[in-house]
Structure 1
Amino acid sequence: MPSQYSVDIPFAASHHQQAFKLIELPPELLALLESDNPPTLNITSSSPSPTTPAYALLNAGTKTYQMRQKNTSNPIMLLKPSSTTPTETDDPTTFIPQPSLCSIAKIEDTIELILQEPETAEKVPPKVNKWHEKFAKSRMEKKK
């Protein structure tokens, strides 16, 4: 019978989860930010119109990106290294801490950046028939 080596790593989740948002950077923006002279980033709001709502814009030098939140079905967990501490039954003088991991945040959505052309920056079509909007609407109707 073959034997397997097992290494257990204790895992814990912090009661105080931190709030994080991840931004998917387009390659050209990443290259600009890693350059010797990176641009200053500013977040502003677009002008709402009768047909389109206001949305967030990320300005990076001469380029403008529309910011959209995307949900993911696979949440990302941010972990930090930690170590075990003695329990009431452990002798603190002989206790040897064991490396462990602690979850400090769970990220369920990311921010997508969409490059806006100068002439279309104010003419972005509204989101239409997104599945998550339909799902949320149907769930609200069921609760009534």
Structure 2
Amino acid sequence: MSTQSSAGVPFSIAADLQPCRLLELPPDLLDYLSTSDAPSLSFKAKDATDPEAFLTTQDKTYLIRQVHTSNTVYITTPSLDASGTTAISQCGSALECLPAPTRHAASTLRSLLISFAEPQDADIRSSDPRSKHHVFAQTPMSHGECQDVWKHLVAFEHAGQSFRPTAAALVKVWKWLLEIAYAHAVNLAAPIQKESIDRMLDGEDEWPRSLVDAILLKLSEHGQESLNLQQQATVKFVGHNLLESRHQSHAEQSTMEKSAFLDAWKDALPEAWRAQTTLDILKAGGKRIEFAPEMVAVAEETTTGATKPAAKATAGKRKWHEKFAAARKQGKPS
């Protein structure tokens, strides 16, 4: 007959318990840390006074929430004599990670961008420069999600500042780009070699190149050597911004006749895409479009951005209109 000792493991509590808090990881975050070759985690908050904190991976954001427990939880270590265990810390609460919605964080990113309406806005020199890196660091959202919002807003960086173009600016830049393409016999409705884009824009400095690139990035499918503007996305982009720019410049009367709007929309597109301008395309989108029997209007959408200091007008813009007119006379395609 054998006997089994009923003696337990000696347990003691250190006199100077160290503060400690546990971080509970959801399964997907645990998998990310376990399987990623070089996992990267960041703790973020809007500012030092923000009571909310976030944990981000490369493309996901988690809200960190404190959870109290009525259980007694100790962190232990083997005793010095190796005969038992000693509690060195007591946890009264834990931190829980929950998937975080991006809407509020997206508005934070918007608020850090300077509103850009005219070419001279590129000369703004803020006392608090906000580069793209700075904006992402101050936005409580993962880098990948920040990049998605940045692309959606057609945001761009110029001379160390981050901007968000207004709808009116987007319309002007797009028309400018369309006319320059026509002057160089570049068809924006077909795949374009990237070197053709570079040649076309060489010396054209009326608008920041980074803004032009942001528009092309938003609207195109990028290949190794070519750029292909997506037809439906581009047609919708031009239509929405035409309406929104009308609202921004005519707040007291943002409606316009459908026929006039459709004509303006067609004139702002390559020839091959003008037949695609139907009002049905505009019904699916972020803005609320209103249609009356012979009128069309866009509901208000606030353009949020940092306050702009005074800027002086930029002089000496390149005059490309002469070669554009000459190209029209030669009948080059758009």
Name the SS of the counterpart of 2:29 in structure 1: helix
Name the SS of the counterpart of 2:33 in structure 1: helix
- How does 1:1-144 map onto structure 2 within 5 Å? 5-46=5-46, 54-84=51-81, 99-121=83-105
Structure 1: stretches of 5+ with no match in the other structure: 85-97, 124-144
Note the C-alpha offset of 1:10.
Answer: 2.5
Question: Deviation per CA, 1:105-139, whole angstroms, max 9, x where unpaired?
Answer: 1111000111113225469xxxxxxxxxxxxxxxx
Counterparts of 2:7 and 2:24 in 1: how far apart (Å)? 34
Structure number with the bigger relative contact order (C-alpha 8 A, sep ≥ 6) is 1
Runs of 4+, deviation exceeding 3 Å: 120-123
Question: Deviation per CA, 1:43-102, whole angstroms, max 9, x where unpaired?
Answer: 111369xxxx63111111111111111000002111111155xxxxxxxxxxxxx71221
Name the SS of the counterpart of 1:113 in structure 2: strand
RMSD (Å), alpha carbons: 2.7
Structure 2: stretches of 5+ with no match in the other structure: 108-334
Indicate the residue corresponding to 2:277 in structure 1.
none
Counterparts of 1:111 and 1:122 in 2: how far apart (Å)? 24
Name the SS of the counterpart of 1:16 in structure 2: strand
Which of the pair is proportionally richer in strand? 1
One-letter identity of the residue aligned with 1:19: P
Name the SS of the counterpart of 1:18 in structure 2: strand
Counterparts of 1:111 and 1:5 in 2: how far apart (Å)? 39
One-letter identity of the residue aligned with 1:110: A
Identity across matched positions, percent: 29
Conservation of the 8 A alpha-carbon contact between 1:45 and 1:56: yes
Conservation of the 8 A alpha-carbon contact between 1:75 and 1:109: no
* Residues paired across the two proteins, number: 105
Which of the pair is proportionally richer in helix? 2
Counterparts of 1:28 and 1:22 in 2: how far apart (Å)? 18
Q: Output the TM-score relative to the length of structure 2.
A: 0.28
Name the SS of the counterpart of 1:14 in structure 2: strand
